[in-house]
Amino acid sequence: MILSSSFLASSPKEGLHKWEEFLKNLKFRRADKFSLALLCGALACAKDYDLTASALYFGTSNGSVESVKELQDNIFLQNRFPMPFTFINTLSGTPLFFLLKHLNIQIPTISVAHSNFAFENTLSLALVDLKQKRIKSALIGVCDVWYEPIEQARKILDYESCEFSAWILVEHNEKDCVKFFNSFDELLRFINQFETNSFYLSPSFSPNEYDKLKNTVQIRPNIAPKTISNYSAAAAGAHFSDEQTPFFYIGCDNRGGYSFVNIN
Provide the pLDDT for residue 159: 55
161 and 202 inside one domain: no
- Domain that residue 16 falls in: 2-171
Domain final residue pick, 145, 171, 197: 171
* Together in a domain, 110 and 188: no
On whether both 184 and 120 belong to a single domain, the answer is no
pLDDT value at residue 227: 60
120 and 27, same domain (yes or no)? yes
Is residue 122 domain-shared with residue 104, that is, in the same domain? yes
pLDDT for residue 238: 84
**Are residues 12 and 58 part of one domain?**
yes
In this prediction, residue 171 carries a pLDDT of 95
Same domain, 193 and 65: no
Can you give the CATH number for the domain in which 34 is found? 3.40.47.10
The H or E element spanning position 125 is helix 118-131
- Give the span between the Cα atoms of 34 and 145, in whole angstroms: 6
Tell me: do 144 and 17 sit in the same domain. yes
Return the pLDDT at 155: 66
**149 in the same domain as 188:** no
Residues 137, 31 within the same domain:
yes
Instruction: Give kind and range of the element (H or E) at residue 59.
Output: strand 54-60
SS3 category, 37: helix
Same domain, 139 and 200: no
Task: Give the sign of the dihedral formed by CA 5, CA 10, CA 16, CA 21.
Answer: negative
Q: How many domains does the chain have?
A: 2
Q: Which of 138, 171, 204 is the last residue of a domain?
A: 171
Same domain, 103 and 196: no
Per-residue confidence (pLDDT) for residue 168, from 0 to 100:
94
Q: What is the pTM (predicted TM-score) of this model? A: 0.87
- Three-state SS at 124: helix
| Angle in degrees, 0-180, between the axes of helices 94-103 and 33-46, rounded to the nearest 10 | 40
Residues of the chain with pLDDT under 50: none
* Final residue belonging to a domain, choices 171, 198, 213: 171
